[in-house]
Structure 1
Amino acid sequence: MTNRGILSLDFTAAGGNRHPSAADWTAGELAYGAGTNIAIWNTDDVQSRGVSALVRGHTDTVNTVKFHDSPHGRFLISGGADKTVRLWKAGEDSSRTPYEQVAVLTGHTASVNTISVLPGGQVFVTGAADGTVKAWHQGETGAKLEQSIDLKPRYLPLATAIAKLNGGAIVLAVAGTSSIIQLYVRSDTKAQFELQASLSGHEGWIRSLDFVRDGEDLLLASASQDKYIRLWRFRNDQLSEAANGDATAGPGLAATTKSLSNKAHKVGFDYSKYAVTFEALLIGHEDWIYTARWAPASGNKSSPTLLTASADNSLAIWHADQASGVWVCNTRLGEISAQKGSTTATGSTGGFWIGLWHPEGKSVASLGRIGSWRQWMYDSGIDTWVQGVGVSGHTQEVQGLAWARDGSYLLTTSSDQTTRMFAAWKRDGRSSWHEFARPQIHGYDLNCIGSLGVNRFVSGADEKLLRVFDKPKAIDSMLSRLSGTEATVDGSLADAANMPVLGLSNKAITAVADDEPINGLVNGNHDEREAIDPASIVRESTLDIDHPPFEDQLARHTLWPEHEKLYGHGYEISAVATSHDAGMVATACKASSIDHAVIRLYETKEWREVKPALTAHTLTVTALAFSCDDEYLLSVGRDRQWAIFQRTKDVPTQYVPLAANTKGHSRMILDCAWAPSCAPTVFATAGRDKAVKIWKLGGTEVESLTTIATNTAVTALAFSQPLDVGEKTLLAFGGDDGQVYLVDLLSNTFEVSEKRSVPTQYCASAAITCLRWRPGHSGEGQQLAVGSEDGAVRILTVHN
């Protein structure tokens, strides 16, 4: 292979953090917290490639992200559960990293939850769970603390907003774990904010605040867990009698029985006084409201327009009616109430945590509970908001990866209790990777996964058993249409799958014609455990689409029917491996004694366990692997040993012990892999002792060929199947620092020919959990899937 050092990052999948402040949108870029990383999504990319980069730096969950176009250039300001505020400046070489960290501010002593910036200025404020709001003055390479406002023991800040008043004064609104909004003002000459007013009216915690200019006035929107949005007007004149009048007299107030106090508050200074009055109460959401955002001025809106996101699974767009002045909701996006159904089965519970405007006001985006982004674009031709392709990904550690045997798609599984299928969307000479299905939405953390051919996989979870799933016809035909794969035509696939409302297993179902009523839902004769969530019924046209599924389709209509359950283990499943002929499944579970540290084998024809179980280890088996010809089964464990089992000639499903090394490594062994078919008896092991060891099996003897020393514990490794028989074999391994290495090994001796590290910007910010090379891929290079504890899935290409 020539130029094997040339790599590219083809795809990154990363779910968003559930925090109302964890994302912001500026021209061409949407930045959001993704675990400890900040994901950069190019929303204007015509190629629809999704996340373009993950910015590393935080050591704990990112809670708040804000763009700031300051006099010193574009900055990204972030805060996290690591108690730090970090400043990132747009990098000159965006191919290397889009943002470079220029400062770490350590003034807070608890999780940072909110950041607000003064547009065009150098002032920004941060609020944290330590009960303080801090005002900073930003420079070119850092920021200086100007003031710290202590809110304890009254409340903790969850939301802030900052705006400039006429005359140069600055107003700061602060709210959080109470029902009041505090207004602080500072003059252009005095660097200290002073508390000047407290706005009451809400009856729950306040999650979001946002200012917008309305002529000479300012409007403040506040969103609360009491299910209401309140609008407050900052009028740039002296108090009038109307401002002190009856609260129900104004046309902008929605009719309600709730208390509507319209006391006028004075804020500002002698040269610039404002009267703050209650403007309107917006009623319409059925659950907590997490964010309220005013449309940008560049959206060419004639009057202020507000976007709100709620836990009721909807986005609402509000504006004041020109004739009456009453604030009304003229657009609602998301899921209507009738479709909520069995949210535990579909994974859609929790609603929308974030709602954002495109900087030009032409589209909106929202983040759901399970980390997926949806996007809607306004089509002026048909006067309708049209949903577009969003981005998605896991929100917890990625625990397992498995390619389909023909390389047509990638399966991933995670501690976020979902299994996801990713594939390439090919159209008009373009190709981009997307989530095509969510085969398994589970009630337990998922730990491992293995592919059984093209249409089946097996996964293991904390529930102590394994489940086998079959690809449904709806997914098969969609994959064939959008990804160019060969469709299954033998009629062996079920139409689709569904999960009964009170059930735990995905059931195969028949797709319903578009005009056909749903049997049994009217007469109510179904058993409760078999009752179907009406929102997740699969119509014949449900997945007959010309684009990857949107989030609502992924969550409801892309389950795979369950084919079998495999019992036998007494503790959480720790490892699974499938034979290359798809005839055998090997599994292990967590163990602290020899009694449970066994390897169980299952044949896939009748799904029976092959007894007796294989014994060799005394502690948890961490990884299993079948050799390329399925002649051998390799196991490694926390007891620092590896073991090899050989298939018997008389009974092809039976394996017997062949060789073992009780001191294979000096610390626990975490992963293993067999070399490609050109060297069927060579294997590698890796462990906490910061070493990768290459071994060769000869008869019943095993010799050590090579030891590759590293600077960190090695947590995952994988051999590449060469595209052509050459002089070198490619090995990839990753460590607990997130770094991935590529090693060229001489095919005859397996000595190291060349070792190189993958560029840091392509690597993870936490330990690598699994590596898998894509089989059967004949493109411009070999593709490597990388799973890690930072929750991201990456696909790297090593170019030919």
Structure 2
Amino acid sequence: MSNSGGDGGVEVESLFVGAGCNRVVNNVSWGASGLVAFGAQNALAIFTPQAAQILTTLPGHKAAVNCTQWLPSTKDAFKVQNLEKHYLLSGDADGVVILWELSVKSRTWRLVCQLPKSHKKGVTCISGIMISQDVAMFASTSSDGSVHVWEMILPSALGGECQLSCVESLSLGSKPMVALSLAELPGSTGNMVLAMGGLDNQIHLYCGDRTGKFIHSCAVKGHTDWIRCLDFSLPFSSDDKKDCVFLVSSSQDRSIRLWKVALCSSTCADIPHRKEGIGLASYIEGPTFTAGSSSYQISLESLLLGHEDWVYSVEWKPPPSSYLEESGVYQPDCILSASMDKTMMIWQPEKKGGIWMNVVTVGELNHSALGFYGGHWSQNGDSILAHGYGGSFHLWKNVGIEFDNWQPQKVPSGHYAAVTDITWARSGDYLLSVSHDQTTRIFAPWSDEVHSGDRSNWHEIARPQVHGHDINCVAMIQGKGNHRFVSGADEKVARVFEAPVSFLKTLNYSKYQKSGLPEDLEDVQILGANMSALGLSQKPIYLQASNETPEKLGSDAMDSLETIPDAVPMVLTELPIEGQLAWHTLWPESHKLYGHGNELFSLCCSHDGKLVASSCKAQSAKVAEIWLWQVGSWKAVGRLQSHSLTVTMLGFSHDDSFLLAVSRDRQFSVFSIGGTGVVKVNYQLVARQEAHKRIIWACSWNPFVHEFATGSRDKTAKIWAIEDGSSVSLLLTLPQFSSSVTALSWIGTNSSTNPGLLAVGMESGLIELWTLSRGKPDTDGQAKSNYNAALAVRFDLYMCHVSTVHRLAWRNSKKNEDCITAQLASCGSDNCVRIFNVKF
């Protein structure tokens, strides 16, 4: 996806989106289009499992997305051949349901409408089926205790509009339903059945037809805890299952139950014969109910026990295309379940006795995963996808030919809470991000993949810090030597981390397909890091210690509280999966910086790599001090006082002679920074000025001269210049923006008339690029004061964030004869890290 606009001749394309999945149960849906949809905060994200890349995010929701549903789903794919358009439903925490349209050929998206009848509280589940090629029915349920049933007529001609009508609204009282499944009743009578389950531990069946009037038919008892998921099968092909459908239910009581819904006329005669050999699979008769002129018997077919924790989802395997027969499509005897016990299981009846057995178990069998919220089949049933407690995806594919062989596959990944800060590696080889999900992650291009053009796909290749506090800020430590960064969290300590050998080799491999170390880093002795059992510190694992076996360490060490499974630092020669990232790619912590009185808020490092500046949340001048730390010795070498409230952002000028600070008190400060001695640094307040009418959120230096930009909640961005090293003057106020300015990043050119591009990020999630220019110098070399800004490009809505942009950062640019290509990274409250390719 790309766009160009404005008058600056600037082109922008989206290179990468990293995002985690909202940690709710019905959030993920795999459609007949082959695409997976999921909620990432209030964005709706779409990813393709083949490339393990998020293709786009869809803006529209004002609250977190709770559930998604494709029409047609993988189960319905056979009913709709060669559809031009697929549809996607998404429901959010405000009760709003939105309908989206995907044009299959052009892969373009359109927000069709927001459903006119919204729920009063969060939507918990959406279930839908295709009745025919051009008619669909779907139902949504909410924690307000209501269920809405809709009919959707798809357009017959290209460019036509969908027709939506609400055919039924049910009010269910005080115990809301959290699971739904809709199906056509057997016997081809046109009758529909809607199963719902929730907090009263029963399955309720409502019968109706396309005109609505869904009437409560019966309640089925059996589960002893909340029902979490329901799924109706398609009709079966075998004679004894003709004229019936099966309903599978899963519950927090750890069990899965299989129910048979049979047309009475065909099954009543059969039941006596079944009783010849009463076994485990004998029917346990349940209630009968009528729908239209037909009556149906519901009975318990099987009870599946195997999971050790709440079973959050169950799903029938979709019929593969090879199942298409003249007389219709029939349901394979196969169920997928996903549980909080960190496993997914595939269940099938054994051939002789017909008893349902667990035939495949897959899962993250390490201690870092915390269970699965849902599991889904691919369209042809050869892949299964789980989404987990850690906002992560887990994909397995059956690569066996003669027999089943399920192998983990690569998936997209990212943060599952607001991303607060990003920084590029000194070399520009990777992007480091930190988040309120208490992790630090590294994204890098992986170059051994087959890809179009010269673009590598970006992936998460390491998770250096896994922490017990929300992380607010990060800075790469510049200068020579090994890769290091310092991060600040909701604690009063800044922590310094150093890259281990395992990461350096992985980085080398991702670039050159070589697993050796770069020459200048061959003296690094730390292989990786381990998290202590009760602490937050990541302890180093040394190269020589990694050869020692537990026996050598003595039995005392084995019995101590510190003993948790050891990390095995890995050199990755292929893309890592979630378990490897979470546990085997940690960086050791080398220092803690104590001094601040509150939660850390902002960090930056000087370009020569000698100083780190830090600030914390503050409501008094004493606490709002900026601390300077000497890199290497990590001594505090300065405490700069100027502001009375939190310093929101810090930055060193290109030559490190000035430090800029902006604050909640609406002022900025510029300090001159002198010789960085061993014991102390010379610093002096050059200027302090009230620059805006509201909080100043962002600042950015011109990379070549002593000019800087500030951005504020008052919806303005301003350009300032330091004159004679002693005073600051306003050069330009950009035209007022539509929303608070929350992020700025300046990429410059060393030209007297062309100061470069300023990237502006806003609270609304929008990003714009502005071309800056200044008048030609006078004969005496003094620049004229006329400083101009013009909008170069406004990013396409589908490329932007869906909520506040927290940080923008330019990567080191590559210059060609005709144009400069640079990468711009951004992060925001919508849990997303984004990288754009900008040509100008």
Q: TM-score, normalised by structure 2?
A: 0.87
Contact 1:20 1:208 in 2 (8 A): no
From the superposition, tell whether residues 526 and 584 of structure 1 become closer, same or farther in structure 2 (CA, over 3 Å): farther
Offset of residue 233 of structure 1: 1.1
Q: Select 1:499's aligned residue among 500, 521, 531.
A: 531
Question: In structure 2, how many angstroms separate the alpha carbons of the residues matched to 1:109 and 1:299?
Answer: 41
Offset of residue 240 of structure 1: 3.3
Aligned to 1:316: 345
From the superposition, tell whether residues 647 and 370 of structure 1 become closer, same or farther in structure 2 (CA, over 3 Å): same
Give the alignment of 1:275-674 within 5 angstroms.
Answer: 275-298=297-320, 303-336=332-365, 339-340=366-367, 346=368, 348-349=369-370, 351-381=371-401, 383-427=404-448, 430=451, 431-453=456-478, 455-484=483-512, 487=518, 489-510=521-542, 517-519=549-551, 523-526=555-558, 528=560, 530-531=562-563, 533-534=564-565, 536-538=566-568, 543-611=570-638, 613-649=639-675, 651=677, 654-674=681-701
From the superposition, tell whether residues 513 and 303 of structure 1 become closer, same or farther in structure 2 (CA, over 3 Å): farther
Offset of residue 298 of structure 1: 1.6
- AA partner of residue 23 (structure 1): V
Offset of residue 526 of structure 1: 4.7
Contact 1:425 1:482 in 2 (8 A): yes
Give the 3-state SS of the residue equivalent to 1:530 in structure 2: coil
Aligned to 2:811: 774
Aligned to 1:209: 230
Question: In structure 1, how many angstroms separate the alpha carbons of the residues matched to 2:84 and 2:742?
Answer: 42
CA deviation map 1:674-698 (0-9, x unaligned): 1112x2x111111112111111112
Offset of residue 251 of structure 1: 4.0
When structure 1 is superposed on structure 2, of 475-484 and 311-320 the one drifting more is 475-484
1:87 aligns with 2:99: yes
Give the alignment of 1:47-86 within 5 angstroms.
Answer: 48=51, 50-69=53-72, 73-86=85-98
Aligned to 1:693: 718
Question: In structure 1, how many angstroms separate the alpha carbons of the residues matched to 2:833 and 2:293?
Answer: 56
Question: In structure 1, how many angstroms separate the alpha carbons of the residues matched to 2:125 and 2:259?
Answer: 21
- AA partner of residue 609 (structure 1): A
- AA partner of residue 533 (structure 2): V
Give the 3-state SS of the residue equivalent to 2:801 in structure 1: coil
CA deviation map 1:408-428 (0-9, x unaligned): 110101111111110000015
From the superposition, tell whether residues 93 and 798 of structure 1 become closer, same or farther in structure 2 (CA, over 3 Å): farther
- AA partner of residue 62 (structure 1): V
Contact 2:8 2:793 in 1 (8 A): no
1:185 aligns with 2:207: yes
CA deviation map 1:751-775 (0-9, x unaligned): 2144431122111111111001112
1:106 aligns with 2:117: yes
From the superposition, tell whether residues 428 and 505 of structure 1 become closer, same or farther in structure 2 (CA, over 3 Å): closer
Unaligned runs of 5+ in 2: 73-79, 154-160, 324-330, 776-785
Give the 3-state SS of the residue equivalent to 1:264 in structure 2: strand
Aligned to 2:217: 196
Question: In structure 1, how many angstroms separate the alpha carbons of the residues matched to 2:317 and 2:750?
Answer: 52
Contact 1:87 1:142 in 2 (8 A): no
CA deviation map 1:11-38 (0-9, x unaligned): 0011111222111112321111111111
Question: In structure 2, how many angstroms separate the alpha carbons of the residues matched to 1:195 and 1:243?
Answer: 26
Question: In structure 2, how many angstroms separate the alpha carbons of the residues matched to 1:502 and 1:366?
Answer: 29
- AA partner of residue 767 (structure 1): T
From the superposition, tell whether residues 599 and 181 of structure 1 become closer, same or farther in structure 2 (CA, over 3 Å): same
Contact 2:11 2:839 in 1 (8 A): yes
Question: In structure 1, how many angstroms separate the alpha carbons of the residues matched to 2:809 and 2:828?
Answer: 12
1:715 aligns with 2:742: yes
Question: In structure 1, how many angstroms separate the alpha carbons of the residues matched to 2:257 and 2:146?
Answer: 24
Question: In structure 2, how many angstroms separate the alpha carbons of the residues matched to 1:51 and 1:395?
Answer: 14
Question: In structure 2, how many angstroms separate the alpha carbons of the residues matched to 1:583 and 1:515?
Answer: 36
1:272 aligns with 2:294: yes
Question: In structure 2, how many angstroms separate the alpha carbons of the residues matched to 1:458 and 1:163?
Answer: 55
Contact 1:511 1:538 in 2 (8 A): no
Contact 1:512 1:537 in 2 (8 A): no
1:795 aligns with 2:825: no
Question: In structure 2, how many angstroms separate the alpha carbons of the residues matched to 1:439 and 1:637?
Answer: 30
- AA partner of residue 194 (structure 2): L
- AA partner of residue 626 (structure 1): F
Aligned to 1:256: none
Aligned to 2:158: none
Give the 3-state SS of the residue equivalent to 1:554 in structure 2: helix
Question: In structure 2, how many angstroms separate the alpha carbons of the residues matched to 1:99 and 1:268?
Answer: 41
Give the 3-state SS of the residue equivalent to 1:412 in structure 2: strand
Give the 3-state SS of the residue equivalent to 2:734 in structure 1: strand
Contact 1:498 1:509 in 2 (8 A): yes
Aligned to 1:744: 771
- Number of equivalenced pairs: 770
Question: In structure 2, how many angstroms separate the alpha carbons of the residues matched to 1:440 and 1:247?
Answer: 63
- AA partner of residue 301 (structure 2): E
1:29 aligns with 2:35: yes
From the superposition, tell whether residues 650 and 151 of structure 1 become closer, same or farther in structure 2 (CA, over 3 Å): closer
Give the 3-state SS of the residue equivalent to 1:482 in structure 2: helix
From the superposition, tell whether residues 775 and 312 of structure 1 become closer, same or farther in structure 2 (CA, over 3 Å): same
Offset of residue 376 of structure 1: 1.1
Question: In structure 2, how many angstroms separate the alpha carbons of the residues matched to 1:30 and 1:248?
Answer: 45
Contact 1:103 1:142 in 2 (8 A): no
From the superposition, tell whether residues 300 and 268 of structure 1 become closer, same or farther in structure 2 (CA, over 3 Å): farther
Offset of residue 604 of structure 1: 1.2
Q: Percent identity?
A: 34
Aligned to 2:180: 160
Contact 2:377 2:384 in 1 (8 A): yes
From the superposition, tell whether residues 8 and 270 of structure 1 become closer, same or farther in structure 2 (CA, over 3 Å): closer
Give the 3-state SS of the residue equivalent to 1:552 in structure 2: helix
Offset of residue 700 of structure 1: 0.3
CA deviation map 1:755-799 (0-9, x unaligned): 431122111111111001112556871000011111111101102
Give the 3-state SS of the residue equivalent to 2:412 in structure 1: coil
Unaligned runs of 5+ in 1: 254-260, 341-345
- AA partner of residue 766 (structure 1): S
Contact 1:695 1:704 in 2 (8 A): yes
Contact 1:78 1:85 in 2 (8 A): yes
CA deviation map 1:552-585 (0-9, x unaligned): 1011111111011011111111111111122111
- AA partner of residue 551 (structure 1): E
Contact 1:86 1:104 in 2 (8 A): yes
Contact 1:22 1:64 in 2 (8 A): yes
Offset of residue 291 of structure 1: 0.7
Give the 3-state SS of the residue equivalent to 1:118 in structure 2: strand
Contact 2:220 2:286 in 1 (8 A): no
CA deviation map 1:576-609 (0-9, x unaligned): 1111122111001111111101001110121111
Contact 2:10 2:792 in 1 (8 A): no
Question: In structure 2, how many angstroms separate the alpha carbons of the residues matched to 1:491 and 1:791?
Answer: 37
From the superposition, tell whether residues 187 and 273 of structure 1 become closer, same or farther in structure 2 (CA, over 3 Å): farther
When structure 1 is superposed on structure 2, of 614-623 and 20-29 the one drifting more is 20-29
- AA partner of residue 770 (structure 1): R
